[in-house]
Amino acid sequence: MLIGNESTFSPSYFFSGLIISNLAFLASLFIFYKLLLFDYKRGVAITSIVFLLLFPTSFYFGAVYSESLFLLLTLLTFYFARKKRWLAAGITGMFLSITRIVGIFILPALIYEFVKQEKIDIKKIKNIFKLFLRLWPLFFIPLSVFGYGIYNFLNKGEFFYFINAHGNLGNGRTVNSIVLFPQTIFRYIKIILSIPYSQFEWWIALLEITTFFIVSFLLYLSWKKKIRLSYLIFSVPCFLLPIFSGTFTGLPRYSLVLFPIFISLALINQKLIKLFYVIIAPILLFLLLMFFSKGYFIS
């Protein structure tokens, strides 16, 4: 219950946000561990969680941002799916797609998961009809997005206002067309070559384009390491959608919820690469946190 700028549970919206973010993050770590145990040994599970905690922008999980809640709902949805609790998966997937528009990509991932678990031959039309009948809980997911669109239409006169609003943030993001990532890479190369490295923006541009290449490689590695395909069906579009808007702005933060990249890091056999990550990532985490705490834009 909220009254003015205060709530029943804390003195302000800000502290309420902190409580929600931190509790959601703690819960997400527990669910991540439980989810990993379906496929991996305890050592891999713990290492994946440690690599997540050390990621240079992981401090956003404790801030008033949607990362921790989005990660929790993502992991819960997959956990329920692995347990064949499809109604629960549909409900958490519904809240996931409301939390962030990329949450809608959980739908094809869950459909694939269902087909895989139930060993359904989708080549037969009869089986496709049965599939739709049995998957009815998952249709809460698109209905939630449609419902939010109706809310936007009634209040703002525009069904896709929640998408178009991103174009008004002044961050160079395009919402009415697709920009291929080679164009964005070229744009970032121009930025790096045209402004002096003494400017803070130069380092942020370097962070964003570096994140793009590293996460792209880790997602590819996730596929090579045969990480569960449903996880990638969800994660790859979540990664690509912001990129196709013509900027890598926010990518170091958006990548936090792409949990397969931390599994792939844990599965790397080369100890030197893991050691490099364990040394460099905390240093970057500390530096970025210091700038973030002073009000600088990080991601």
Which CA distances in Å does 238 have to 45, 135, 177, 233?
A: 23, 23, 17, 9
| Distances in whole angstroms, Cα of residue 111 to Cα of each of 39, 137, 149, 280 | 19, 11, 23, 38
- As a whole number of angstroms, the distance between CA 137 and CA 208 comes to 38
pLDDT at 3: 44
pLDDT below 50 — which residues of the chain? 1-4
In the chain, the amino acid numbered 177 is: S
3-state secondary structure of 6: strand
What pLDDT does residue 125 have? Answer: 54
pTM of the predicted model as reported, rounded to 2 decimal places = 0.90
Q: Give residue 15's pLDDT.
A: 87
Return d(Cα 20, Cα 98) in angstroms, integer: 16
Give the start-to-end residue ranges of the domains of the chain. 2-293
pLDDT for 126 equals 61
Q: Are 78 and 84 in contact (CB under 8 A)?
A: no
C-alpha to C-alpha distances, 227 to 88, 223, 262, nearest whole angstrom: 23, 6, 11
pLDDT at 145: 84
130, 247 contact by CB (below 8 A): no
Q: What local confidence, expressed as pLDDT, does residue 27 receive?
A: 97
Instruction: Name which of 111, 98, 103 is nearest 75 in CA terms.
Output: 103
Residue 44 identity (one-letter amino acid): V
